[in-house]
């Protein structure tokens, strides 16, 4: 397991500076929520941590090792997207196995990897099957393994996306508004399950949400982001009772 260190990360898209020097240290096994209004740069920051986007400047370290410039597949992080991002032509079991198959292939083999998978060695296949099974047991989606994403409800799809994140046993989970497409009841239920996963796995979590209640109930600390900067990162009670400035107070809805 690993802590994450984000140092002075900036990101420009053309003329626009979307991240203006973000620094955040997340301890090993900590659960940090990242909250802030739409467009403040939350997804961009997560994508940079995951290696899906390069920062304009600044550094990312995982477990004390700089990873800036390395490929996403080599970072040992799992990202879960709001849109689930499942492969529609693959079954649930195949979707969950994707990160393991990607990892077991060489860089050259990975290049043309669109469509059918190359056959792996036998032992590799049984290792993959075992890992898929344990992830699906944890999420109680065993009966769905042969279905395609189009045959699943939103909640079930989100579980599959979580399963795919779990299966590679990552050092850290990056979740980008994973519950925002679910209805209120399912959101509360899935929230509890994510909290339980965090306790069980003792992995580091960065959880992007625009739901303050979610952030308040789940997090060790909440980072409040606005306009490409983190204004405050503290325990939920501190954020609520002692916001560092009026913009944080207004966003959180605290009494100050
Ligand atoms: P959030 O997740 O907090 O809603 P985002 O990180 O998605 O915010 O976006 C932050 C800002 O960066 C927005 O103004 C968005 O339009 C812009 N942005 C994000 N990705 C790109 C991109 N690939 N090219 C240009 N602008 C982008
Ligand atoms: Mg976003």
Q: Give me the pLDDT at residue 80, please.
A: 92
Q: Give me the pLDDT at residue 115, please.
A: 36
* CA gap 156, 152 in Å, rounded: 6
Which atom belonging to ligand 1 lies closest to the Cα atom of 11? 12
Pocket test for ligand 1, best of 10, 14, 15, 18 (most atoms within 8 A of CB): 18
CA geometry: angle at 161 spanning 106 and 140, to 5°? 115
Q: 210-224, pLDDT tens digit by residue?
A: 888 889 999 999 999
Instruction: Report how far ligand 1's centroid is from the alpha carbon of 24 (Å).
Output: 19
* CA gap 250, 240 in Å, rounded: 10
List of the chain residues with pLDDT < 50: 1, 107-108, 110-116
Asked whether 13 lines ligand 1 (CB < 6 A), one says yes
Instruction: Report how far ligand 1's centroid is from the alpha carbon of 146 (Å).
Output: 36
* CA gap 187, 237 in Å, rounded: 22
Q: Give me the pLDDT at residue 127, please.
A: 81
Instruction: Report how far ligand 2's centroid is from the alpha carbon of 238 (Å).
Output: 25
Asked whether 42 lines ligand 1 (CB < 6 A), one says yes
* CA gap 168, 175 in Å, rounded: 15
Residue 10, strand partner residues: 20, 57
Asked whether 38 lines ligand 1 (CB < 6 A), one says yes
59: Cβ contacts below 8 Å, ≥ 6 apart: 5, 6, 7, 8, 9, 66, 68
Instruction: Report how far ligand 2's centroid is from the alpha carbon of 176 (Å).
Output: 7
Q: 9-67, pLDDT tens digit by residue?
A: 999 999 999 999 999 999 999 999 999 999 999 999 999 999 999 999 999 999 889 99
């Amino acid at each position: 397991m690993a802590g994450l260190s984000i140092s002075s990360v900036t990101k420009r898209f053309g003329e626009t500076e979307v991240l203006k020097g973000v620094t955040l240290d997340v301890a090993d096994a900590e659960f940090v929520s990242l909250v802030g209004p739409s467009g403040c740069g939350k997804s961009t920051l997560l994508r940079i941590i995951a290696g899906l986007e390069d920062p304009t400047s600044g550094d990312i370290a995982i477990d004390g090792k700089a990873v800036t410039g390395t490929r996403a597949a080599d970072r040992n992080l799992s990202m879960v997207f709001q849109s689930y991002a499942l492969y529609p032509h693959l079954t649930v079991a195949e979707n969950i196995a994707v990160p393991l198959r990607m990892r077991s292939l060489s860089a050259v083999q990975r290049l043309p990897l669109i469509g059918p998978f190359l056959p792996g060695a036998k032992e590799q296949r049984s290792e993959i099957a075992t890992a898929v099974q344990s992830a699906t047991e944890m999420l109680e989606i065993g009966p769905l393994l042969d279905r395609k994403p189009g045959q699943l409800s939103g909640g079930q799809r989100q579980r599959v996306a979580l399963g795919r994140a779990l299966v590679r046993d990552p050092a850290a989970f990056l979740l980008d508004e994973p519950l925002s497409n679910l209805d209120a009841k399912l959101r509360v239920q899935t929230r509890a399950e994510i909290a339980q996963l965090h306790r069980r796995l003792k992995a580091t979590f960065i959880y992007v949400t625009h739901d303050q209640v979610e952030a308040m109930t789940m997090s060790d600390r909440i980072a409040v982001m606005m306009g490409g900067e983190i204004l405050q990162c503290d325990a939920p009670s501190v954020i609520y009772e002692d916001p560092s400035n009026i913009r944080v107070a207004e966003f959180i809805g605290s009494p100050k």
